[in-house]
């Protein structure tokens, strides 16, 4: 299966507690990623393929029947939104063993579906470049 990375040429991101916020600098949309979604993104950023991510999560969580469908759907949505880029086939292999050695809270924890929420309410503000895109009256006038 394919390995991915966050498109850092268009997105900046920061983790707050167990959630992640990503901002698309080109279109001003921002996203919130849930607890388990953040975990999936971190594993992908380590260079793991989707199959390897599933292997890691199956060790960490007890309810693994729905895991493949949930993770694959989440990754597909991240790719659709342009957040993830496929890594080239010749990218260095990841180290799954290190990720597997760090169980979350044991296998008794249930995996909650990862959630990506998109926001456009601050799109205009995020796109406003206060140095270059101002009127003669100055910032904050476009």
**3-state DSSP helix/strand/coil % of the chain, to nearest 5:** 30, 20, 50
Task: Kindly report the pTM of this predicted structure.
Answer: 0.77
Cis peptide before 93 (omega within 30 of 0): no
Is residue 68 a part of any domain in this protein? yes
- We report the CATH number of the domain holding residue 13 as 3.90.930.60
Q: What 3-state class would DSSP assign to 86?
A: strand
- The half-sphere exposure of 23 on its side-chain side, counting CA atoms within 13 A, is 12
Q: Beta-carbon neighbour count of residue 70 at 10 Å? A: 20
Q: Report pLDDT for 140.
A: 57
Is residue 101 a part of any domain in this protein? no
First and final C-alpha spacing in the chain: 46
Per-residue pLDDT of the chain (142 residues; tens, 9 = 90+): 689 999 999 998 999 999 999 999 888 899 999 999 999 999 999 999 999 999 999 999 988 899 999 999 999 999 999 999 998 876 665 555 445 545 555 556 889 999 999 998 887 777 766 555 556 666 555 5
Q: Report pLDDT for 45.
A: 92
Is residue 41 a part of any domain in this protein? yes
Q: How many domains does the chain have?
A: 1
Q: What 3-state class would DSSP assign to 84?
A: strand
Is residue 107 a part of any domain in this protein? no
- Where are the extended beta strands (E) located within the chain? 4-6, 11-16, 19-24, 30-33, 84-86, 116-119
Please say whether the beta carbons of 109 and 60 come within 8 A: yes
Which range of residues forms the domain containing residue 53?
Answer: 4-89+114-127
Is residue 135 a part of any domain in this protein? no
Is residue 98 a part of any domain in this protein? no
Q: What 3-state class would DSSP assign to 125?
A: helix
Q: Report pLDDT for 107.
A: 52
């Amino acid at each position: 299966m394919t390995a991915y990375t966050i498109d850092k040429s268009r997105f900046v991101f920061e983790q707050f507690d167990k959630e992640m916020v990503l901002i698309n600098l080109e279109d001003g949309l921002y996203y919130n990623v849930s607890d388990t979604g953040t975990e999936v993104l971190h594993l992908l950023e380590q260079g793991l393929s989707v199959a390897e991510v599933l292997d890691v999560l199956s060790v960490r969580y007890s309810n693994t029947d729905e895991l493949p469908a949930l993770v694959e759907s989440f990754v597909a949505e991240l790719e659709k939104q342009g957040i993830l880029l496929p890594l080239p086939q010749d990218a260095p292999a990841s180290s799954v063993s290190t990720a597997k050695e760090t169980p979350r809270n044991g296998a008794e924890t249930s995996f909650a579906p990862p959630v990506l929420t998109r926001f456009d309410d601050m799109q205009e503000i995020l796109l406003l470049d206060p140095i270059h895109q101002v009127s003669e009256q100055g910032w904050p006038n476009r």
